[in-house]
Amino acid sequence: RKYAKVDLDALQDHLLQRCQDAGVRFREEIMEKVERSGEGGGAVVRCRGGEALGCDVAILASGAATSQFLEYEEDVPSAGAQTAYGFEVEVDAYPFDEKKMHFMDFRRHHTGVWRGKALHPGMTRALTEEGSWGTKTEVPSFLYAMPLEGGRAFFQETCLVAKDAVPFDVLRRRLETRLESLGVRVKAVLDEEWSYIPVGGPLPNADNETLAFGATANMIHPASGYSVARSLKAAPEFAKDVMAAYGEGRSWTSSSSRLVWDGLWSAERRKCAAFHTFGMELLALMDVRSINDFFLAFFSLPEGLWKGFLSSSLNSNQLLLFALSMFAVAPVHMKAKLVGHLFHPAGAYLMRIYMPKASDA
């Protein structure tokens, strides 16, 4: 897959310019409630200062913090958290292939055991039997590394998913020790990044009259944390659905909201989300050894399957093929975990969404 580091300031400037060109007006307020305006449709956004802003339809797009204004599915495992600490730095030398993104390096260089020796030929495997000793309670984390121009590079230590978020101080300490093990000398820190991403959890109910998009609508990939590219790709279709839902009368009703929600989270997309949540919950239960075995199996699959899983481009039937393929190549202890996980609440959620009639029976 191709990877790029998003220039957040440039992206924000670009989006704000497009809004300005389209005549969008901005108000800086703290929202406290969204209500129906009456029988005729429409909504009222009530602000902390007492002001009430009327509109045809309210669309929440300010991240997971605004999820309190929506109703979500019930009997779904709660969200986990992906946390990460990274920085863009000037370095004397980049330790990996300068033409490739270095992805999901779960080797435990952060322990300090391999100070300055992590690139030794004997350290090519993700994890040795000896290296996994005493790690049953350790929450795994991995390295992202991306070479940039002008002697710069971006390094990030990431906990893929945990029910209890790994603190940023822990991730920073791991990253600094890891770079020392890799023999990387940081000349200057140019930028720092802290990331907390809620992953998994319930989807919005389709009968919400208020709409949402992005993280508020739980459009984050539960098993990878990816969201920016997906949201940018989905935005034009979402906007068209909103405009089409107005109808000829240019009015907004509960049925209008339902049409948009059914487009954003169709039955097919809800199946895919349930599958991804099943995978996320499984990853959250894994120790260091298990998660290494999982990803050794994952990246041994045909490229179309693992790339499709990460990019959310596999449909619900293709995801079942992915699951069967993972089961075929996984070691015996991983097969047992996969089967046992069907009896986890995430497994019940998966079965309920994939086979609703059987679940109702």
pLDDT at 226: 85
Determine the Cα–Cα distance for residues 338 and 297; give it in Å rounded to an integer.
13
pLDDT at 126: 45
Buried/exposed code over 194-220 (b: 16+ C-beta within 10 A; e: otherwise): eeebbbbbbbbebebbbbbbbbbbbbb
Determine the Cα–Cα distance for residues 123 and 129; give it in Å rounded to an integer.
12
Determine the Cα–Cα distance for residues 171 and 142; give it in Å rounded to an integer.
10
361 residues of the chain, pLDDT tens digit each: 677 778 888 999 999 999 999 999 998 999 999 998 776 678 999 999 899 999 989 999 988 888 899 999 999 999 999 999 999 999 999 999 998 899 888 887 776 655 555 555 455 554 555 555 556 678 899 999 999 999 999 999 999 999 999 999 999 999 999 999 888 999 999 999 999 999 999 999 999 999 999 999 999 998 888 888 889 999 999 999 999 988 766 778 888 999 999 999 999 999 999 999 999 999 999 988 888 889 999 999 999 999 999 888 999 999 999 999 999 999 999 999 999 999 999 999 999 999 986 555 4
| Residue type at position 10 | A
User: What contacts 90, CB < 8 A, 6 or more positions away?
Assistant: 151, 152, 186, 187, 188, 190
pLDDT at 122: 52
- Classified as helix, coil or strand, 147 is strand
pLDDT at 260: 96
- Six-digit token string for 29: 């307020």
pLDDT at 229: 85
Determine the Cα–Cα distance for residues 330 and 43; give it in Å rounded to an integer.
51
